[in-house]
Amino acid sequence: MKVKVKAPDKWMEGWDKLYRKMLEEEDLTELEGLHVHYPIQQLFWFIKLDEDEEAGELKAVELACGDGRVACYLAQKGYTVEAVDALPSAVTLTQKRAMQLNLSHRVKVTLGDIDTWKIEPSSYDLVVALQCLQYLFERTMPRLQELLKSVKPKGFFVYSGNILPHEPTEKPIRFITEEELKDALEGWTIHSIGTNVVRRSAESTRGYLFAVAQKQLL
């Protein structure tokens, strides 16, 4: 089944190719890797998981789970994770990875659009949106607000997205700036926020914005 999303087909085809290639790998149990996952590692500097916290009690959602590494990492840390992506290859890869890691009971993967995915207010201990909200274009900022509402008091929001510098794209990416993100997180505790610039090739240098924030009690 094909999910129609706002990101151009060409971009979706590029990610699809990557996930299909990964699906050919026999061993999917290695979870370390991409620099864009750095805020997830940071998250656990700020979270003190209670030792007697029941496994599976904490509920996370990951939007655009891609290769599934983050969803599985969170499940390993004790979260029950709902993961969603619009590509069947991402869904299959995440499921296969979770199976190899014996985490299938903690990772529920759904094929869907991260924009229309039903997300209730105050329903998650952790909401993760890495490298995806920017592909919702005019819906990027409204969706960010909806996601922030879906975090329970004391829960966490982990974000990464591109900023300038970035090569021009045929459909301009909706970059969320650091100022916009800080404004959206007004009243939250921002444990970490930062940017970096990565030179990917002679033609491509990209900026990234990261944040780990915690919602305060109302």
Residues near ligand SAM (CB under 6 A) are 5-7, 12, 15, 34, 36, 64, 66, 85-87, 90, 113-115, 130-132, 135
Q: What share of the chain is helix, strand, coil (3-state, %, to 5)?
A: 35, 25, 40
Nearer to ligand SAM among residue 85 and residue 185 (C-beta): 85
Nearer to ligand SAM among residue 6 and residue 149 (C-beta): 6
Q: Cβ of residue 209: shortest distance to ligand SAM, in angstroms?
A: 13
* CA distances in angstroms from 106 to 26, 89, 139, 218, listed in the order given: 22, 19, 30, 29
Nearer to ligand SAM among residue 154 and residue 160 (C-beta): 160
Omega before 142 within 30 of 0, i.e. cis:
no
| Distance in angstroms (rounded) separating the CA atoms of residues 84 and 69 | 13
Q: Cβ of residue 195: shortest distance to ligand SAM, in angstroms?
A: 16
Q: Cβ of residue 111: shortest distance to ligand SAM, in angstroms?
A: 9
Helix 9-23, helix 88-100: angle, nearest 10: 30
Nearer to ligand SAM among residue 189 and residue 195 (C-beta): 195
Alpha helices in 24-101, H assignment, sequence order: 38-46, 69-76, 88-100
Q: Which of 80, 175, 179, 193 is nearest to 126 (CA)?
A: 80
Q: Cβ of residue 40: shortest distance to ligand SAM, in angstroms?
A: 9
* CA distances in angstroms from 2 to 108, 159, 218, listed in the order given: 19, 26, 40
Residue nearest ligand SAM by beta-carbon distance? 66
Q: Cβ of residue 14: shortest distance to ligand SAM, in angstroms?
A: 9
| Distance in angstroms (rounded) separating the CA atoms of residues 166 and 162 | 8
Biggest CA-to-CA distance, the chain: 51
Nearer to ligand SAM among residue 61 and residue 114 (C-beta): 114
Q: Cβ of residue 194: shortest distance to ligand SAM, in angstroms?
A: 16
Nearer to ligand SAM among residue 68 and residue 155 (C-beta): 68
